[in-house]
Amino acid sequence: MYFRLFKRQNVQFFVGFCLGLSLTVVLHIYNRTSIITFIQDKRYGLLSSTQIGRLHTFNNWQWKDETIDDLLHEDFHGIIHSDGSAKEQHFEDTQHHHDDDTIARKMFKDVRVACWILTSPSNLEKKAIHVRNTWAKRCNIALFMSSAYNSSFPTIGLNVTEGRDHLTAKTMKAFKYLYDHHMNDADWFMKADDDTYVIVENLRYFLSNENFKDPVYFGHRFKPHVKQGYTSGGGGYVLSKEALRRFGSEGADNPKLCAADKGAEDVQMGICLQNLGVQLKPSVDAMQRSRFHCFSPE
């Protein structure tokens, strides 16, 4: 009696196990074939249902640093004419990811960011080259500002004595160069160092909710020395088009408002922008975390 019952239970268990395994395999195959369904889109070609879902959840999507390495070669980079002025040229980015870049490409056109990178002749092959080959490609315009002109890198020569004691002069002249030559080529103008790394897609996402016609700028805020605070130079900071207009037309040539060359670069720029009525706005996220990082994560 016991043996028969035990044997019958084993048979039932085996049959149930086989049925469950078969059902699992069938469902797995069904899911794989049903998820990858495609629709035809007139502008972007075939989009999968998973891609459509990502588009629909855009408002809740936090940008990651895994966005595409090239925006269909729509990146721009400053190339220098023989007279020292800059022209725009398409990058030849050979790295290709296959993520859905629809939103990134739209924001590339809608939120135009000009990036200028503060560097020096001795840092071109040690630091600046890595900026040029990575995140600078994501900017609508990327310019490398140095004390000396270099046609092969290329850099824009600001005719300033090299050294930390003259960073204020380099910064003031760099922003004046942007005002003179690229005022209408972008809506936001970011200053970064040659050891800064920027996820430009995240920056655009943040700036998309701001108005470049307002006299504002953003960065990691420090409180001393300036009434409204000032932004860390090491973490980078971004001026709106109106902020750059005020600097170029009212402050750059007025030493009473903007120092030509003295003190710490980021403090002096903070004083200058405050004198011009440019507001330093908060740039933290919804959880009060900084978006501009001036300290090493270590």
The predicted-structure confidence for 148-185, as pLDDT tens digits, reads as follows 999 999 999 999 998 888 999 999 999 999 999 999 99
Residue 106 near residue 58, CB atoms below 8 Å: no
Q: What is the pLDDT of residue 15?
A: 65
CA distance 268 to 175: 13
pTM tops 0.75 = no
Q: Could you list the pLDDT tens digit for every one of the 298 residues in the chain?
A: 434 444 556 666 666 766 777 776 666 554 444 333 333 333 333 333 333 343 333 333 333 333 333 333 333 344 455 555 555 444 445 455 567 788 989 999 999 999 999 999 999 999 999 999 999 999 999 999 999 999 999 999 999 998 888 999 999 999 999 999 999 999 999 999 999 999 999 999 999 999 999 999 999 999 888 999 999 998 999 999 999 999 999 999 999 999 988 889 999 999 999 999 999 999 989 899 989 988 877 6
- Report the chain's mean pLDDT, rounded to a whole number: 79
Residue 227 near residue 221, CB atoms below 8 Å: no
Structure tokens at 174: 């760099």
Q: What is the pLDDT of residue 200?
A: 97
What lies within 8 Å, CB to CB, of 203 at 6+ separation is: 113, 190, 238
What pLDDT, in 10s, does the model give residues 91-115? Answer: 445 455 567 788 989 999 999 999 9
Helices (H) and strands (E) in the chain, counts: 8, 13
- Around 97, how many Cα atoms within 13 Å sit in the side-chain half-sphere? 12
Structure tokens at 135: 């995140």
Distance, CA of 73 to chain centre = 16
The CATH T-level fold of domain 72-280 is Spore Coat Polysaccharide Biosynthesis Protein SpsA; Chain A (3.90.550)
Contacts of 88-96 with C-beta under 8 Å, sequence gap 24+, read 88/141, 88/185, 91/137, 93/69, 93/137, 95/69, 95/70, 96/68, 96/69, 96/70
Domain boundaries, the chain: 72-280
Q: What is the pLDDT of residue 223?
A: 87
**Beta strand pairing call for 113-118 and 141-146:** parallel
Q: What is the pLDDT of residue 95?
A: 55
- Around 255, how many Cα atoms within 13 Å sit in the side-chain half-sphere? 4
Q: What is the pLDDT of residue 203?
A: 97
